[in-house]
Chains A and B, each alone.
Chain A
Amino acid sequence: MASMSASRPATETLASKAPTDWSGPAMTARIKGRYRSEFVFKYAGLAALVVAALFLVFLLFTIVRDGASGFRSTDVKVTVTYDPTILGIDQAAAKGPGGKQLIEQGNFQGLLTTADTGLGVGTNVVSEGAWLVLREAVIADPSLLGKTATLWVPTRSNFDLLAKGKFDLDAADEARGVNDADIAAYRQLESRGLLKTGFNWTFLTSADSTTPELAGIWGAAKGSLLTLLVTLVLSFPVGIFAAIYLEEFAPKNRWTDMVEVSINNLAAVPSIIFGLLGLAVFLNFLNMPRSAPIVGGLTLALMTFPVIVIAGRVAIKAVPPSIRDAALGVGASPVQVVFQHVLPLALPGILTGTIIGMARALGETAPLLLIGMRAFVTEIPSGLSNPATALPVQVFLWSDDVARGFVEKTSAAIIVLLIFLMLMNSVAIYLRNRFERRW
């Protein structure tokens, strides 16, 4: 046993060593050190989570802080005389048949710029789109023509921001972002009580615009809804069918392996690649319309499909085999077993996965940019092939805009997007808790 003794020359020293003094100063210090590192390690873990939590809180805080004011807008009270000569509307004809069309063509823009609006300040206060309010008023009541009326119209973005205190008025002129004339006009109007800040219905009901005070989120929201509708209609049935086939019927062979590998890989392919696919195949090869929800929906459907398949397979696998055996035992065919017994039991799980997939599709931006859904669309899309944009793309577009008023709009749009996501995820959580069975 020469090798043994060679490898353990310490036998003698070990034997001659005194027993460890566990309560001695050296050992107490060592144990203390060990407990200290235990403490540090544990709280390092907690600190990591706290950092993540703080980041999230800070992110949400800044967005709510900046975005809350986006839901409010400032109006100014103007007194206008609906002068038919400036408007170019024949008073008598306006009351007759076809009068509405006549009024619609009236020069309300000119009225606002030339006529006295009773504000008495040097600069232009009202928004570019304020004339629409006047037009609406006259369409609603044609007898207003020739009369004088007071009404609230939206202000220019600068006044809106002044009213919300978004400018640092103590800063140097060039850093302030607003000129002295505007500030003076604002102070004067404010003191006369001609300004009011209220809920911004324009933001919730209109589409994009070049001027911040007229821009709204509804166009993008509807574009997102149409896109998601296409995505759901395509990816949900196809995803379930593929999941059923792979989990219940697929034979073990090379084809099945290929399908499985493709699905797992597709789930991990960067989303922008799907945008390239959509651009090359749907737009350039099939000549489908650019910027349309149908193309966006198709592209996102390809992206959501693997998510649904994977969730569906998990849900189907969770249904115990005894259910299948019992159904087969009373004479159901394999297809009947799946569609009449397994699928209804797996459906809550599949739905949960689908909603999560749809939520991801709702937040997805990159592929939509590539298929042209970043277009500047001022009309609310009414169909699947109309040009449209989507909520996250709208966030991106506004975040790029130099006009100062868009900062709060961007954050407000993010709030709308996050509310939608929260709703979808709550439904998913509800479904999971309410219907999912543990066997």
Chain B
Amino acid sequence: MSLTVITLLLFGLALVAFTVGRGRAAAFPGAKGGVIAADRPHSRPNYHGAFVALAALAPALIVVAAWGLFSEGVVGDAVIASVPAAERPATPLDRSSFLSEVKGIASGEMEAGFNPATGPAAKVYNETHDTYNLIVGGIAAVLLAIGAIWGLARLKPNFRARNRVEKAIMGLLIVASLVAILTTAGIVGSLIFESARFFNQVSIIEFLTSTTWSPQTALRADQVGSSGAFGAVPLFWGTIFIGAIIAMIVAIPLGLMAAVYLTQYADSRVRSFLKPLLEVLAGVPTVVYGFFAALTVAPAVRDFAVSIGLENASSSSALAAGSVMGIMIIPFVSSMADDALNAVPQAMRDGSFAMGATKSETVRKVLLPAALPGIVGGVLLAVSRAIGETMIVVMAAGLAANLTANPFDSVTTVTTQIVALLTGDQEFDSPKTLSAFALGLVLFVITLILNIYALSVVKKYREAYE
């Protein structure tokens, strides 16, 4: 019996509990409508039913959900334990491929695994799964029955079923909003935990100050060319160079001018046509930009560099990735600038016009200086978004960790390296894979600081004009 079936059965039983509870309540004296409030039961029959159903379902569901979360691990351990020690998979990767073969055979999708030991293991898998599911299903059913009986016993005409049900709903709402904190805690916790393991093996000073990045660790002691150097400075530079310099050189003037035109010059007909265009630009998936950057822009940039005499121009140049990223960011910068310009009080605009200034003079000498804090905040948010952007740089920027300011050269970024380190075969405890988490931590902290600072700037700016 699968977990889904058990869950559906539990819901079915809860529905029965609901009907019984509602029936009980409907039979209360005055339930059909007493003349005065004191003659009627406190809550409507539906609430009584819901109370019984909740009392029955909640504990049972918690047990099933907990089991669902840990079942794969527990059953996996049981399966591995059943395999003779000599044939047991050694590394975590072997273990997971072994288990996926076992699962394939167990579900009947595969006829036989590559590993002969998976045949008997699949049997064990099915048996353990069934046994555990039966036990868990049994416990859940008993809890459900106890809950239903307890709930039914409490139903009385003056029982405040509605308040109880509403309290449960409120609990659900609070739990839902705690998901945000849990996610944040999960991110911070897992990044710090894995980074700490990395910094046990590699010094944090080296990571933050050394300029050599070569994460291939030696598999054998005598291997050549696998130094395992983890100096992340070239990565930070590459990230800043592409995301905060090249992309912003493209995005700030274009985005700002687009916002100025849309808010100051364009009439509503033009605006209704141009604004969706920017939204489309913002909605194109980054992988599409990446493909375009790699296939169309990068060769063009390389040809251009060669034509002006740079012989060793890279085909994965910083310029190609950065400029496409800049285009991607335009809508973002434009909408932030739009907000900032609109927040400038009308009186300042009117005052400038009254002095005889033209529109462009008003924009340049009054609106932009007045909106500057808002625009700067928006640009900082855009930078934070650009340095966290992954697909464009993974596809169009290189993997070579160069410390160069030549835009036709190849640089690598933090996000590119995270993807490169964590895809493909990986042994999980090596400094190579753990370094990805350290890079992730740096990225998270920097974007967080940028976001918080930028949001506070924007907020303060808005308040100044309110």
Tell me the A residues contacting B by CB distance below 8 Å: 34-35, 37-38, 40-42, 44-49, 51-53, 55-56, 59, 62-63, 237-242, 244-246, 249-250, 258-259, 262-266, 268-277, 279-281, 284-290, 302, 305-306, 309, 333-335, 339, 359, 362-366, 369-370, 374, 385, 387, 392-393, 395-396, 399, 407, 410-411, 414, 417-418, 421, 425
Contacts and interface: CB of A to CB of B under 8 A. Distances in A.
Contacts of A262: 180-181, 183-184
A280 B96 contact: no
B392 to A, nearest CB: 10
Given A276-B437, A286-B73, A259 B447 contact: no
Nearest to A44: B257
A251 to B, nearest CB: 11
A423 to B, nearest CB: 12
Contact of A399 (B281, B295, B359): B295
B86 interface: no
B253 to A, nearest CB: 7
Contacts of B178: 259
A334 B173 CA distance: 13
24 contacts: A38-B358, A41-B364, A45-B258, A48-B261, A242-B176, A244-B173, A263-B180, A270-B387, A270-B444, A272-B418, A273-B440, A279-B422, A280-B193, A284-B428, A287-B72, A362-B285, A363-B283, A363-B285, A366-B286, A369-B423, A370-B419, A395-B291, A396-B291, A421-B285
B27 interface: no
B283 A250 contact: no
Contact of B390 (A238, A242, A259, A270): A270
Given A276-B190, A280-B190, A281-B190, A366 B415 contact: yes
A417 to B, nearest CB: 6
Contacts of A270: 385, 387-390, 415, 443-444, 447
Given A42-B265, A370-B422, A399-B295, A365 B258 contact: no
Contacts of A246: 177
Interface stretch (B122-130, B162-170, B219-227): B162-170
B1 interface: no
Nearest to B357: A34
B195 to A, nearest CB: 10
Contact of A418 (B288, B364, B448): B288
Contacts of B76: 287
A245 B181 CA distance: 14
B87 interface: no
B173 A242 contact: yes
B360 interface: yes
Contacts of A279: 422
Interface of B: 69-70, 72-73, 76, 96, 100, 103, 162, 166, 169-170, 172-181, 183-184, 186-187, 190-191, 193-194, 253-258, 260-262, 264-265, 274, 277-278, 280-281, 283-292, 294-296, 327, 330-331, 358-361, 363-364, 381, 384-385, 387-391, 394-395, 415, 418-419, 422-423, 428, 436-437, 440, 443-444, 447-448, 451-452, 455
Contacts of A238: 176, 179
B72 A417 contact: no
* 5 pairs of A and B residues whose beta carbons are closest in the complex: A270-B388, A45-B261, A363-B285, A241-B176, A41-B360
B286 to A, nearest CB: 7
A288 B287 contact: no
Given A238-B176, A270-B388, A280-B190, 17 more contacts: A42-B265, A45-B257, A62-B292, A62-B295, A63-B292, A237-B176, A259-B180, A271-B388, A273-B388, A277-B183, A279-B422, A335-B169, A363-B288, A365-B287, A366-B419, A370-B422, A395-B291
Contacts of B256: 48
B273 to A, nearest CB: 10
A258 B183 CA distance: 12
Contacts of B179: 238, 242, 305
A268 B451 contact: yes
B288 A63 contact: yes
A44 B364 CA distance: 13
Contact of B177 (A48, A241, A269, A276): A241
A370 B390 CA distance: 11
A421 B283 contact: yes
B327 A269 contact: no
A276 B421 CA distance: 12
Contacts of B440: 272-273, 276
B395 A269 contact: no
Given A263-B180, A272-B419, A414-B288, A335 B166 contact: yes
B86 to A, nearest CB: 23
A52 B69 CA distance: 47
B327 A55 contact: yes
Contacts of A265: 184, 448, 451-452
Contacts of B384: 268
B173 A241 contact: yes
B183 A302 contact: yes
Contacts of B180: 242, 259, 262-263, 266, 305-306, 309
Contact of A387 (B100, B281, B443, B452): B100
A308 to B, nearest CB: 11
A45 B190 contact: no
A362 B395 CA distance: 19
Nearest to B184: A262
Contacts of A289: 72, 96, 100, 103
Contacts of B274: 49, 53
A374 to B, nearest CB: 6
A386 to B, nearest CB: 8
B291 A245 contact: no
Contacts of B381: 268
Q: Which of B73, B274, B288 counts the most A-chain CB atoms under 10 A from its CB?
A: B288
A399 B294 contact: yes
B73 A49 contact: no
B288 A290 contact: no
Contacts of A272: 388, 390, 415, 418-419, 440, 443
A271 B72 contact: no
B44 to A, nearest CB: 11
B72 A288 contact: yes
Determine which residue in A37, A51, A250, A365 has the highest number of CB atoms from chain B within 10 A of its CB, and name it: A365
B285 A286 contact: no
A245 B180 CA distance: 12
A267 B289 CA distance: 21
A399 B285 contact: no
A104 B228 CA distance: 51
A276 B193 CA distance: 12
A290 B96 contact: yes
A271 B418 contact: no
Contacts of B177: 241-242, 245-246, 250, 259
Nearest to B100: A289
A42 B360 contact: yes
A130 to B, nearest CB: 25
A259 B181 contact: yes
A281 B103 CA distance: 21
